[in-house]
Amino acid sequence: MAKIYEVEGWLDLVQEEILDPNMEIIDPHHHLWHGPEDHPGVKGSYRYLLEDLWKDTSSGHNIKKTVFIDCGQEYYQDGPEQFKPVGETEFVVEIAKQAQEDLSQAQIAGIIGHANMMLGSSVKEVLELHLEKGEGLFRGIRHAGGWDKDESVKNAHSHPTPYIYLEDKFQDGLRELSSLDMVFDTWHYHNQIKDLTKLAINIPELVIIHDHFGGPLGIGPYIGKREEIFDQWKEDIYELSRCKNVYAKLGGLAMPVNGWDWHKRDKPASSDEIVTEQERYYLYTLECFGPERCMFESNFPVDKQSVAYHVIWNAYKKMVKDYSEKDKFNLFFGTAEKVYKL
């Protein structure tokens, strides 16, 4: 593959006709971050700000609204530690205001930020500050729980403990989140789905959005174990789906951690390849949760390491081409609009 800062040109190697270009879409999962201005691409190597987002959202599909998801940007440098993540909310609010200057483009309609749920009930004052600084856009928290004992698997950016979802203080913090009518976005690995199910059962009033299929791993000690992991993953997803307070985001499988290694190739993935390799994850989750509790996501620019924006949305449209118009509406727009109150 080209060097990461050349990813834009690399992605251009796969061009596809846009399927159903008039279908209205909410992209409920993307990030924004700074980087070298001449190096568009991935975190740490390139910038992804409004013009970069718009380059993707205007690449053919009819993206109307988006939801920003936490990624540790622009935290306050001073003041009490627990309030520092509110700086990210202010950062995104300013970008959302910039977007409003051109209503023909996709609008950032919701913000999921970060607060340390291990603060327990005292996290309430942090959440209230997020709401104040969010200027009507703030919708909830992601406190990522991704943890694995193997050093080759990078743990989540929020530095979780191994069983963070089961910690009493963590769950107390989530109860405060729910009391303020906000949602909880998750990010973890496949071997932690059971813990999330226990959490969902313990706090049935909490709306939970399960990101990226629970992160089925395909690197390090998990190389060569895809079928074994898939079988266990199916059991765990089914049990999680029985918790009616949990919704599923469908996407985020093109990350290097998932092990398909598309980012290492001479050409990025096509929509047909994505369908062939990954459709079973999507269709099984849809079977368990139903379209009214599922939403497609881009997870850009993280998945941009492997696939172009217009290609990933083509793949989603191919997967559900035989679904009813009502089901398609929910998957591409309605579920996200409902859950995030957009």
For 333, residues 6+ apart whose C-beta sits below 8 A from its C-beta are 24, 25, 26, 64
Q: Can you tell me the distance from the alpha carbon of 251 to that of 126, in angstroms, rounded to the nearest whole number?
A: 29
Amino acid at 171: Q
**Around Cβ 151, how many Cβ atoms within 10 Å?**
8
Q: What is the pLDDT of residue 38?
A: 47
Using 70 as the pLDDT threshold, list the residues of the chain that sit under it: 1-6, 36-45
Q: What is the pLDDT of residue 45?
A: 60
Nearest to 18 by CA among 252, 308, 326: 308
Q: What is the pLDDT of residue 47?
A: 84
The structure tokens listed for 181 are 């009518």
Taking CA atoms, 280 is separated from 64, 252, 260, 270, in Å, by 28, 14, 15, 17
| Angle separating helix axes 86-99 and 124-134, nearest 10 degrees | 20
Q: What is the pLDDT of residue 42?
A: 52
Taking CA atoms, 277 is separated from 55, 193, 220, 272, 280, in Å, by 27, 22, 20, 9, 8
Question: Architecture of domain 4-339 in CATH?
Answer: Alpha-Beta Barrel (3.20)
pTM above 0.85, yes or no: yes
Q: What is the pLDDT of residue 225?
A: 97
Amino acid at 143: H
CA 329 to chain centre: 19
Q: What is the pLDDT of residue 4?
A: 47
Nearest to 33 by CA among 71, 65, 5: 71
Q: Can you tell me the distance from the alpha carbon of 224 to that of 202, in angstroms, rounded to the nearest whole number?
A: 35
Phi-psi region of 142 (alpha: psi -120 to 50; beta: other; left: phi over 0): beta
Amino acid at 144: A
Q: What is the mean pLDDT of the chain?
A: 94
Class of residue 297 by CB neighbours under 10 A (exposed 0-12, middle 13-18, buried 19+): buried
